[in-house]
Amino acid sequence: MFNRKELKANAKLVLKRSYWMAFLVSLLAGLVTGGSGFSGNLNLNNSNVNSLSEDTQQLEAISDGSTEAIQQFFAENGGVVAAVVGVTFIVALLIGFAWAFFVSTPAEIGLSRFFIATREQQNPVDFSYVLYGFKYNYLKQAWAHFSTQLIIMLWSLLGVIPMIIGGILSAVTQNGNWMALGVFMLPLMIPSIIKTYQYRMVSYILANNCNINGKRARELSTEMTNGNKWNLFVLDLSFIGWIILGALACGIGILFVIPYINATNAEAYTCLKAEAMQNKGISGDEELPSLAGAAV
């Protein structure tokens, strides 16, 4: 039975014997799954100094709020601006997808395996568990997790697209009612939130068995979270106090809370797996074996 207080108490017991390793793993995994950035250089030469001066004067006029200057700027440079924005968006999107597929998703699977193993083994496990997603069925696991996140993202478009359209129409028509209409469409985000909790256990399932494909992992996660989505939501809310407290310490305190959250989520997975095996008839230890004594 899903008992929030019991799960958090068990997580604290686990962290007593392996907190600093859990902290290091959570910190490094957080840096990897948090994304990446890139920077570019702007090179100037003597031939474009005059052009740059004219553009600077235009930009100063724009910053002063001159409507005519804004219209003139986009009339003269609209195509270039659109092309730069479009190319930048596409490049950033491709880099983001590549990073998520090849780096972030395997790292998250490894993070999940580390905390499952830490929970199930009496002796502290070593850092190599984090590399699990990169070592076994790398591309299969990456696609299984990435495709799941892609499904959730597509569901989120139900709410995001109306807001984007509302913002564009509001800017073009200078009528704020369009933006308000987009905000009213926020309830369309609810299906994506439901999907997020429905597939919450996918990374743990893949960490438990690298031979499971994405479709099967989503089926198992659906069975585990059926009737427990609200419990998982409340579990997430229960950490708000800790997060606020960590934020008050210049934000650094949050880093020390993350291992507690990760350990509790591993406890939740173990609980839901046992419940699903007992009451919902999903496959037993052959498909989702215990990691006690398991190889890295």
In this predicted structure, what is the pLDDT of residue 35? 40
Q: Which two tokens stand for residue 195?
A: 């999907």
In this predicted structure, what is the pLDDT of residue 88? 87
Residue with tokens 């090179």: 43
CA 144 – CA 142 distance, rounded (Å) = 6
Q: What DSSP string describes 229-282? A: HHHHHHHHHTTHHHHHHHHHTTTTHHHHHHHHHHHHHHHHHHHHHHHHHHHS--
CA 135 – CA 116 distance, rounded (Å) = 17
Top-confidence range, 52-66, 73-87, 151-165, 231-245: 231-245
Q: Which two tokens stand for residue 31?
A: 């840096």
In this predicted structure, what is the pLDDT of residue 224? 94
Confidence of residue 51 (pLDDT cuts 50, 70, 90): very low
Give the whole-number percent of the chain exceeding pLDDT 90: 47
Between the alpha carbon of residue 34 and those of residues 28, 63, 107, the distances in Å are 10, 33, 11
Nearest 10 degrees: CA dihedral of 86, 89, 93, 99? 130
Q: Which residues contact 170 (CB under 8 A, 6 or more apart)?
A: 176, 177, 178, 179, 182
In this predicted structure, what is the pLDDT of residue 38? 38
In this predicted structure, what is the pLDDT of residue 265? 96
pLDDT in tens, 98-136: 988 999 999 999 999 999 999 888 776 788 888 999 999
Q: Which two tokens stand for residue 20?
A: 């600093």
- Count other Cβ atoms within 10 Å, centred on residue 65: 8
Confidence of residue 56 (pLDDT cuts 50, 70, 90): low
In this predicted structure, what is the pLDDT of residue 86? 78
Q: Which residues contact 56 (CB under 8 A, 6 or more apart)?
A: none
Residue with tokens 């310490």: 249
- Count other Cβ atoms within 10 Å, centred on residue 121: 18
Give the whole-number percent of the chain exceeding pLDDT 70: 77
Question: How confident is the model over 9-34, as a mean pLDDT?
Answer: 90
What's phi and psi for 133, nearest 5 deg? -65, -20
| Predicted confidence (pLDDT) at residue 179 exceeds the cutoff of 80 | no
